[in-house]
């Protein structure tokens, strides 16, 4: 796996709840590329629980939506917006574990619409949550001009 660079890190206005490393309340996700998959290893924290020692479903949705966005960022080298997200919660996720694994990949592309599938795996590799996200993408030129987008690469 190769770590992805964050093209917005250091930008003054950048404060994404999902991936900004300096957002004090954010989930601070980092991303890796593993073949067709974008992967994040993430440590659940107590402040993100719903039921006792259980990761809140809304936080799970944030993790899935964010990793799907990074599929757009890395694989298509542009940005976009979530149009629809279908989520299936299959098993509870403990907040007492060292880390969980989130993975996503491009399933289908129709012009400027991307269909991205993603999963959250618990500490023993079981699929706990699944999502299918539909994204509308922005043409690369517009992403560069209006959204401060620069290419997302892997670190050496």
Residue 103 located in a structural domain: yes
Global pTM value:
0.93
Residue 34 located in a structural domain: yes
Six-digit token string for 95: 């907040």
pLDDT digit string, tens, across residues 51-65: 999 999 999 999 999
pLDDT digit string, tens, across residues 98-152: 999 999 999 999 999 999 999 999 999 999 999 999 999 988 777 777 666 667 7
* Residue 103 per-residue DSSP state: E
Residue 17 located in a structural domain: yes
Six-digit token string for 148: 């401060």
Mean residue pLDDT of the chain comes to 93
User: H or E segment at 57?
Assistant: helix 57-75
Residue 68 located in a structural domain: yes
Please compute the mean of the pLDDT values over residues 45-56 and round it to a whole number: 95
Residue 156 located in a structural domain: no
User: H or E segment at 144?
Assistant: helix 140-146
- Domain of 30, CATH number, reads 3.10.129.10
The size of the chain, in residues, is: 156
Please compute the mean of the pLDDT values over residues 88-107 and round it to a whole number: 98
Q: How confident is the model at residue 9 (pLDDT cuts 50, 70, 90)?
A: confident
pLDDT digit string, tens, across residues 13-34: 899 999 999 999 999 999 999 9
DSSP string, 67-92: HHHHHHHHHSSS-EEEEEEEEEE-S-
Phi-psi region of 79 (alpha: psi -120 to 50; beta: other; left: phi over 0): beta
What pLDDT is attached to residue 125? 97
Q: How confident is the model at residue 155 (pLDDT cuts 50, 70, 90)?
A: confident
Residue 24 located in a structural domain: yes
Sign of the four-CA dihedral 33, 16, 114, 87: positive
Most confident range (mean pLDDT) of 7-16, 77-86, 98-107 is: 98-107
Residues 65 and 144: their CA atoms lie apart, in Å, by 22
Q: What is the domain extent for residue 122?
A: 2-146
Residue 38 located in a structural domain: yes
Counting the structural domains of the chain, the total is 1
Residue 56 located in a structural domain: yes
């Amino acid at each position: 796996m190769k770590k992805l660079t964050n093209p917005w890190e250091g930008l003054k206005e950048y404060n994404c709840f999902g991936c900004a490393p300096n957002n004090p309340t954010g989930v601070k996700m980092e991303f890796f590329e593993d073949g067709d998959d974008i992967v994040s290893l993430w440590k659940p924290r107590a402040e993100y629980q719903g039921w006792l020692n259980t990761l809140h479903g809304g936080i799970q949705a944030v993790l899935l939506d964010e990793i799907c966005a990074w599929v757009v960022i890395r694989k298509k080298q542009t940005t976009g917006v979530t149009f629809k997200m279908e989520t299936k919660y299959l098993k509870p996720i403990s907040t007492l574990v060292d880390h969980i694994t989130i993975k996503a990949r491009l399933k289908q592309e129709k012009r400027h619409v991307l269909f991205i599938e993603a999963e959250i795996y618990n500490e023993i590799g079981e699929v706990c949550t699944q999502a299918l996200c539909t994204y509308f993408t922005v043409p690369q030129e517009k992403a560069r001009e209006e959204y401060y987008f620069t290419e997302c690469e892997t670190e050496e």
